[in-house]
Chains A and B, each alone.
Chain A
Amino acid sequence: EVQLVESGGGLVQPGRSLRLSCTASGFTFGDYGMNWFRQAPGKGLEWVGFISIKSYGGTTEYVASVKGRFTISRDDSKSIAYLQMNSLKIEDTGVYYCTRVVTYSGYDSSDYWGQGTLVTVSS
């Protein structure tokens, strides 16, 4: 059974850093790209970023609002994807989800989602 479990969320002051982890099981982690999404309280969903598989260079993509502050990485030996968040802002508050990415007919699509982890940026 495919499972994704996010961890590392919590309360953090503006300007500080936090690292989220996404621990995967039930599939060969290294064969899949991974997306991160987030959802501010009471708001809609937002895509945050993506990391490809190692054989595609482990390339990353980010939404403009986090570019230069957030970094996605992966450790295939541990089946974990990371979201390193620096210079956090109040507007980064929300539930963060990791997802598995499946490529179908040239399109990347998120099939399985984790349960999410809450990040609260507040002084």
Chain B
Amino acid sequence: DIQMTQSPSSLSASVGDRVTITCRASQGIRNGLGWYQQKPGKAPKRLIYVASILQSGVPSRFSGSGSDTEFTLTISSLQPEDFATYYCLQHNSYPFTFGQGTKLEIK
């Protein structure tokens, strides 16, 4: 199975900050990587798929990049509603696997 290593596991930041979260795959997954946002008690919400395609309706301050084994999610200017937990998910091959998650907290 492909292991996804996500970092950092937690992050404190302020409104307006630029934030980057990284995921590394244990083997190449081409562009098969998605990013999901989850708020407490809610279902995950897809932000990015196929590494860099922005989900319709998601603000343009979110962006994804990378390919093969290294991927990043960038939030260009944090907004209050962005404080949540973020997960990467490799969707290149089954079994799909997640990173451990990044909890983004208000500084």
Contacts and interface: CB of A to CB of B under 8 A. Distances in A.
Contact of A115 (B43, B49, B50, B98): B43
A104 B98 contact: no
Contacts of A63: 95
- Interface magnitude class on chain A: 20 to 34
Given A44-B87, A115-B43, A104 B95 contact: no
Interface residues of B, number: 26
Contacts, number: 60
Nearest to B32: A107
**B-side binding surface: helix, strand, loop or mixed?**
loop
Contacts of A47: 89, 95-98
Nearest to A110: B46
Interface in A29-52: 35, 37, 44-47, 50
Given A44-B87, A113-B43, A113-B45, A107 B92 contact: yes
B31 interface: yes
Contact of B87 (A45, A114, A116): A45
A111 B55 contact: yes
Given A50-B94, A61-B94, A111-B55, A104 B44 contact: no
Q: Which of B53, B55, B91, B101 has the most CB of A within 10 A?
A: B91
Contacts of A44: 87, 98-101
Interface of A: 35, 37, 44-47, 50, 61-64, 97, 104-105, 107-111, 113-116
Interface of B: 1, 31-32, 34, 36, 38, 43-46, 49-50, 53, 55, 87, 89, 91-92, 94-101
25 contacts: A35-B96, A44-B99, A44-B101, A45-B36, A45-B89, A45-B101, A47-B89, A50-B96, A61-B94, A64-B1, A97-B43, A104-B49, A105-B31, A107-B31, A107-B32, A107-B49, A109-B34, A109-B49, A110-B91, A111-B46, A111-B55, A113-B43, A113-B45, A115-B43, A116-B43
